[in-house]
Amino acid sequence: MKTNSTTAKVKALLLAMLLVFGQFYSQIQNGSVGINTSSPNVNSVLDVVSGSNNKGILIPRLTETQRNAIVINRPQDDGLTIYNITEDCLNYWSLADNEWKSVCGQLGKAVFTVDCSNTKAMGTYVKGRDLTTSNYLDISVNVTKIGNYTISGTTINGYNFYGTGTFLNTGTQTIQVTGQGTPQNVQTDDVSLSANGNAVTCTPAVSVNVLSPAGSYTMSCGSAIANGVYKVGTALNSSNTITLPVNVASLGSYTITTNTVDGISFRGSGTFTSTGNQNITLNGTGTPSSTAVKTITITSDSQGGVPTTCNVNIIVVIPKKTVLHIGLETAYGYSAFTGPSRSLMDSPTNFGTTASSIVKYEGFTHTSLGNSPSSAALQTALNAKPDIVIIGYSYTPNATDAGYLASYLNRKGIVIALTDDTGTAQNLFRAIFSDPTISTSNGSGAGSVYALSNTDDPILNGPFGDVRGKNWGEDASTTINISGLTSGFIPYSYAQPINSTTARTGISGLRNSSLNFVWFGDGGFLSNENANGNPYSSNTIEPFVAPSSGGYFPVQKATYGSAGNGYSAGGMQVQNSILFANMIAWAVKQAEFSGINTQ
């Protein structure tokens, strides 16, 4: 009896506790279970209420590895739900797709690291000036799992950065996180980075230099200098800058930017600490996409209504070109395959990739046919499409050869012909100008000096000097004159020497106005037997001068010419080497932008 009584009491106590517990924690009504509610939602199996509105519900929390270790029973586990603590998101098993899905998006949260060394703040930051689309964090990341990302950067100076998106590929990539707000103080701010909710520590920190409001200054664009070498496909570096002179009227910050042309741009910012004339540096960025000359527009933020834009040109290195030489291969350099004329072409002082090179150019590939190639050999060589052909003493093309050269010119080839044979010149001109009435004649002899025209022309006035109104000199033989031309050419010099009273008619030097053809009537135009390019001692032969001591830079021969017509022997100056260097500079440009290999 005693035992039964005790058992009854225990059962009664348990029933009472269950009733109390049930009243407080749950109610079952119409098949629905409620926790902390006496009226569970009839459409739910379980209705959970936070009694004090300060608690939530926790479901199983698993890492992604633990989640993937679950052995799925596909029919029965459709909709199985866990909280993925690796990506901080609810996941569920989808029978239809036979995979785990994330409620944060189909891809879920990305996994990536931030490369602090390649992360920087872009744009200019000025006290009191709202940030614009030019103000952003340029962030390099390495993505190991595709998915969604959120990146923020905060400062304590009135502005911040925020960006969100989706990585669709793994690997290294760069994203832009836009800025917003208004800097409040002039100072250097460290940016606190966060990636998908996790703090990113950068040492040193990504920093922003907030400038004072802009000062007043004027730019001296005509004196701006582009520094460094620019090459297609090569990213600009610290040597690629623009030195810009300015005159500061009132102190303050400056921000100077340029447009982007063919992939490159420049910018510079800072604070003026003194007034007056001074230089500032604009740093380049980007990679040139073409060899075209780039007209860069510079824009400043100067206050006070002063001019705020101007232009500067950026020259890009031209790739290497092939040159076919025809003529004697001797120390005199008749065809520029040998001698000082070849040294002039190959000198990086003249044609090179250094910052000081006169023509920014990768150099030449030289080939030669010698002095007497067969017509078949000439045709084969021209069909290979050399960029430039240089003809010198004593090559004598027949009518067939001249036709091949004319065809090459009509296909945008370039020919520089320096010849002093009447038959050769006549064959060339009749073929090139398609005029059988053109004739040639012998002119004056060794030491003759011819006046150059004042025409504004890239060969008379080129990167190696302005020789308009000056002279060129005949070598040891006899000048050839052309007669019968009526149009289609630009005359450089006529048949009458300045140091002769014997009347001569015709033309002794010219450029075709539609084809890439330059001619002077002297096969020894480039003659100089001194390997060092110094002036040869004679006043009547070897007019070419390009001293090795100056990097084979072309200079005039200061004492030249035979006596006559009031001139003493050696009393004139001739510019053969400068003319030739300008011819080559012109030919390189034509080959790059309008040559046989640009078609």
Question: Is-contact 169 147, C-beta < 8 A?
Answer: no
Co-location of 337 and 442 in the same domain: yes
Residue 378: closest CA among 396, 356, 363, 359: 396
**For residue 581, what is the enclosing H or E element?**
helix 576-594
Report helix, strand or coil for 342: helix
Co-location of 185 and 133 in the same domain: yes
Co-location of 26 and 125 in the same domain: no
Co-location of 363 and 509 in the same domain: yes
- Measure the CA–CA gap between 241 and 136, rounded to whole angstroms: 23
Tokens of 344: 């002039």
On whether residue 470 sits in a domain, the answer given is yes
φ, ψ (nearest 5 deg) of residue 76: -85, -25
- Residue 593 identity (one-letter amino acid): F
Neighbours of 422 (CB within 10 A): 19
- Residue 353 identity (one-letter amino acid): T
Co-location of 223 and 335 in the same domain: no
Q: Quick one: pLDDT at residue 47?
A: 83
On whether residue 266 sits in a domain, the answer given is yes
Q: Is 517 exposed, middle or buried (0-12, 13-18, 19+ CB in 10 A)?
A: buried
| Residues sharing a CB contact under 8 Å with residue 57, sequence separation 6 or more, in sequence order | 48
Residue 163: closest CA among 190, 143, 137: 137
CATH number of the domain within which 296 lies: 2.60.40.10
Residue 211: closest CA among 186, 179, 181: 186
Q: What share of the chain is helix, strand, coil (3-state, %, to 5)?
A: 15, 40, 45
Tokens of 252: 């303050």
Residues in the chain: 599
CATH number of the domain within which 397 lies: 3.40.50
Co-location of 445 and 392 in the same domain: yes
- Measure the CA–CA gap between 334 and 341, rounded to whole angstroms: 8
Q: Is 421 exposed, middle or buried (0-12, 13-18, 19+ CB in 10 A)?
A: buried
φ, ψ (nearest 5 deg) of residue 9: -65, -40
Please tell me what DSSP assigns to residue 20. Answer: H
On whether residue 52 sits in a domain, the answer given is no
Domain housing 537: 321-594
Residue 47: closest CA among 22, 28, 60: 28
Q: Quick one: pLDDT at residue 21?
A: 44
On whether residue 49 sits in a domain, the answer given is no
On whether residue 51 sits in a domain, the answer given is no
Boundary (domain end) residue, out of 294, 314, 334 = 314
φ, ψ (nearest 5 deg) of residue 60: -55, 130
- Location of structure tokens 């980007």: 286
Q: Quick one: pLDDT at residue 599?
A: 67
Boundary (domain end) residue, out of 314, 341, 371 = 314
- Measure the CA–CA gap between 199 and 177, rounded to whole angstroms: 16
Tokens of 56: 């939530």
Q: How many domains does the chain have?
A: 5
Tens-of-pLDDT digits for all 599 residues of the chain?
A: 344 444 444 444 444 444 444 444 455 666 788 888 888 888 888 888 888 888 888 999 999 899 999 999 988 899 999 999 887 889 899 888 888 888 876 677 888 999 999 999 998 898 998 999 989 999 999 999 888 899 999 999 999 999 999 999 999 999 999 999 999 999 999 999 999 889 999 999 999 999 888 889 999 888 899 999 999 999 999 999 999 999 999 889 999 999 999 999 999 999 999 999 999 999 999 999 999 999 999 998 887 656 678 899 999 999 999 999 999 999 999 999 999 999 999 999 999 998 899 999 999 999 999 999 999 999 999 999 999 999 999 999 999 999 999 999 999 999 999 999 999 999 999 999 999 999 999 999 999 999 999 999 999 999 999 999 999 999 999 999 999 999 999 999 999 999 999 999 999 999 999 999 999 999 999 999 999 999 999 999 999 999 999 999 999 999 999 999 999 999 999 999 999 999 999 999 999 999 999 96
On whether residue 599 sits in a domain, the answer given is no
- Measure the CA–CA gap between 72 and 82, rounded to whole angstroms: 13
Tokens of 399: 């009518």
Co-location of 310 and 325 in the same domain: no
On whether residue 53 sits in a domain, the answer given is no
On whether residue 367 sits in a domain, the answer given is yes
Boundary (domain end) residue, out of 211, 245, 280 = 211
For every residue of 362-382, DSSP letters joined together read --EEEEE--S---HHHHHHHH
Co-location of 162 and 288 in the same domain: no
Co-location of 471 and 584 in the same domain: yes
Co-location of 423 and 545 in the same domain: yes
Co-location of 25 and 79 in the same domain: no
Question: Is-contact 279 243, C-beta < 8 A?
Answer: yes
Co-location of 62 and 157 in the same domain: no
Q: Is 503 exposed, middle or buried (0-12, 13-18, 19+ CB in 10 A)?
A: exposed
Q: Quick one: pLDDT at residue 104?
A: 77
Tokens of 414: 């370039």
- Measure the CA–CA gap between 157 and 185, rounded to whole angstroms: 7
Residue 83: closest CA among 105, 109, 60: 60
Please tell me what DSSP assigns to residue 221. Answer: G
- Measure the CA–CA gap between 401 and 427, rounded to whole angstroms: 9
| Residues sharing a CB contact under 8 Å with residue 497, sequence separation 6 or more, in sequence order | 443, 444, 448, 449, 450, 474, 479, 504, 564, 565
Question: Is-contact 62 100, C-beta < 8 A?
Answer: no
